[in-house]
Each structure stands twice: as structure tokens, then as C-alpha cells.
Structure 1
């Protein structure tokens, strides 16, 4: 346990030195703010760029609060996932390529400790950043559109955070397969996209796919209660993420020992 905490602290310190604890939360905050503000001020934005042609009327209905919060989740699902993939693509592959991983492992540090500490540190950074982004979005949604309870915000953070942890788990596994960070980032994004596409195609079969978390969160926000399918999907997502972590540890140990 002490060895894990030592490697974990090293990763957290490294993230601070690389300013990840500044720019990653800022990116998520900006993503969280963009949709509530742009949606609310859309009429003024249209007017400022010249307005509509004479005689044209364009009534923009005010969306319900939970729909605006879901707009922020859509931003996290696109640009947020891209940021996570790019941030984590050199997590292990970069150190393997530069030889830093070998220096750490001869301490000796267990392969499982090395991989799991990196996975945990990255997950903490991303989950804190996600909470900051959701909190910023929630504040302006409540201010401009209507009330969304803080408990629903926490539930949204918890369940959607599992999706980002799933993305991190894919990236960590890819990090142990390849030494080229760019390739790791590309394959991580590709697998995330394929997961979403396959889930949409076989929606009637893959009812508990990790990609179904966002639709179930929308149902939770609109109905005011957590659907059973969301709990099942969350448990399965946790299981898949842990399986990917175990696969990453096994792959890393096999490649390094070889």
C-alpha cells in the first residue's frame, strides 16, 4: 500500500508540474459554460451579427433546465473525451519509450502498482475536472433556466464520471500495448467511437453498454429518479473498466518481462 501511495503521489506531483491541474479543469469549466451561456444569449448573438432579414420571425423556445445540462454533457462526450484521450496517451507509453518506466520498475516497483497508480491519479484528475465543469454548468443553468437539484448534479457527476473512467481504462490498456503516444491516442478515440456506434446500431441488444450512460442520465434528470437500467449500466461499466485495468497490468508485465 505504501508503494502504491508513493507512486500515486509521484503522478499527482508530475501532473502539477505539467500544469494539468490548471488546464484540464479550465477546459472542462469552459466546456460546461459554453452551452448554457450561448443558448441563453442566442437572440442577442443573432442580433449582434446583423439579425434576421426584415419580416422574418424566429421564436426560440426556452429549453428545460435538464436539457441544457445535457448539452454540457454532450460537450464533454465530444471535446472532453478528446482532451482525456490526448492527456493520457503518453501516460505509460511515453515513459516506456524514454526508458523512465524501466528506472521506476527496478526500484523495485510492482507492475500492478505502477499501472494502477497511474490509472488512479489520472481518474482523480479527470473526475475533479468533470465536477468543476458540471458545477459551472449547473450554476448558470439554475441562474438562467430553472432549478436542477444539487443531488441530481452529484448523480450526474457520478454516473457520467464512470464513462470517462472507462475512456481512461481504454487509454491505459492501449498505453501498455504500444509505445507511440500518438497511436495510443488515436486508437483510444477510435475504440470510444466504435463503442458508441455499435451501441447505437445494436441498441436493442446492448441495453447496458457504457455508451448508454448518457441517455439514462437524461432519463434520470427528466423523471427525477434514477432508473434501474442506469444502475445496471454503471455496474457493468465499472466491471469493464476494472477488466481493462487488469488486462493493462497483464500486458505490461508480459511485455516488460519479455
Structure 2
């Protein structure tokens, strides 16, 4: 356990030196906060652009708090996913390419500890940044639109967060296969797009897909309850995260021993 904590502290220190603990939460906050502010002031923004006929009045329907929260989660599931991939695509591949991984593993360091410490540190950064962004946006939604139950906030936060964790785990897994961070990033985005595409096109066969967690979260925000398929999808996502992580350790061990 002390070995794992040492590796985990090393990752935390490295992320601090790279300022990830500053810029990643800030980016998540900016992604989330701009959505409710823009939606609230959109009529004023359009009027300020000018070139409208004299006497023209723009009246846009005021979105509900649920719709604004859905739009915020949409930002996380597009730009947020891109940030997750960019910040983690070199977490193992970069050290393998530079030879740092070989230097660390020369010592009596467990492959399992090495991989899981990196995964845990990246996961902590993800959840802290995601929570910071979502809680700030929740405040603006309540102030600018209408009150939303905090339990609704927490449930939607957790359900969508599992999908983001799945995305991160895919990227970590691909780190064990390739030495090039660029290849890891490209293939991670490709894999995520394929999973999303198949889940959207073939809902009948992929109704338990982790990619549909975002849609199930949106349904919960709109109607106040999750569909029946949400919890099997959540369970499958958690199982997939564990399997991918264990598989990542096995592949990494084989490649390094080879």
C-alpha cells in the first residue's frame, strides 16, 4: 500500500507541476458557466448586434432549468470529453516513449500499482474538475432560472460522471497499447465516436451502452425519473471500467516484459 501511495503522490505532484490542478478545473468551470449566462442574456445579445428592423422585438422562449442543465452536460460530453482525452493521452504512453516507465519499473514496482495509481490520480482530477464546473453552473441556473432540487443535481452529476469516467478509462487503456500520445488521443476519440454512433443508431441492441447514460440523464432531468435501462447501463459501465483497467495492467505487463 505504501508503494501505491508513493506512486499516487508522484502523479499528484506531477500534475501540480504541470498546472493541471489549476487549468483543468478552470476550463470545466468556464465550459459550464457560459451556458446558463448565454441562454439568459441571449435576447440582449441579439439586440445588441443591431441590423434589426425598427421596432422589431425579439422574444425567445425562456428555457427551463432542466433544459439548461442538459445543455451544460452536453458541453461536458463534447468539449469536456476532448479535455479528458488531451490531459490523459500521454499519462503512460509519454513515460513509455521517454523511458521513464522503464526506469520506474526496474525497481520492485508492481505493474498493478503503477497503472492504478495513474488511473486514480487522473480520475480524481476529472471528478474534482467536473464537480467544480457543474456546481458553479448549478448556482447560476438557480439564480437566473429556477430552483432545482440538490438531489436532482447530485443524481445527474453522478450518472453523467460515470460516462466521463468510462471515457477516461478507455484513454488509459489505449495508453498501454501505444507509445505515441498522439496515436492514443486519435484512437480514443475514434473509439468514443464509434461507441456513441453505434449506441445512437442501434438503440435496440445497445440500450445498456455506457454511451446512453447521457441520454438517460437528460430524461431524468426532464421527467424526474430514470428509464428502466439506466441502471443496467450504469452497472455495465462500472463493470467495463474495472475490466478495462485490469486488462490494461495485463497488456502493459506483457509489453514491458517483452
Q: Name the TM tier (shorter chain).
A: over 0.9
Partner of 2:199: 199
Q: List 4+ stretches of structure 1 deviating above 6 A.
A: none
1-side partners of 2:2 and 2:63: how far apart?
Answer: 50
1-side partners of 2:179 and 2:20: how far apart?
Answer: 22
* Alignment pair present for 1:11 and 2:3: no
Retained in 2: the 8 A contact 1:46–1:52? no
Evaluate the alpha carbon distance shift between residue 55 and residue 204 of structure 1 in structure 2; reply closer, same or farther with a 3 A threshold. farther
Can you list the C-alpha shifts for 1:178-202, whole angstroms capped at 9, x where unaligned? 1110110011011111110010110
Retained in 1: the 8 A contact 2:43–2:58? no
Q: How far 1:228 sits from its partner (Å)? A: 3.5
Q: How far 1:164 sits from its partner (Å)? A: 1.1
Retained in 2: the 8 A contact 1:91–1:175? yes
1:45-124 mapped onto 2 (5 Å cutoff):
45-50=45-50, 52-54=52-54, 56-124=56-124
Partner of 1:22: 22
Can you list the C-alpha shifts for 1:96-153, whole angstroms capped at 9, x where unaligned? 0001101111221111110111011101100110000100110000011111111111
2-side partners of 1:126 and 1:53: how far apart?
Answer: 47
Retained in 2: the 8 A contact 1:159–1:217? yes
Partner of 2:178: 178
Partner of 2:144: 144
Partner of 1:33: 33
Length-normalised TM-score, structure 1: 0.97
What is the CA RMSD across the aligned residues, in angstroms? Answer: 1.2
Number of paired residues?
Answer: 258
1-side partners of 2:111 and 2:51: how far apart?
Answer: 61
1:233-252 mapped onto 2 (5 Å cutoff):
233-252=233-252
Length-normalised TM-score, structure 2: 0.97
Q: How far 1:229 sits from its partner (Å)? A: 2.3
Gaps of 5+ in 2: none
1:157-176 mapped onto 2 (5 Å cutoff):
157-176=157-176
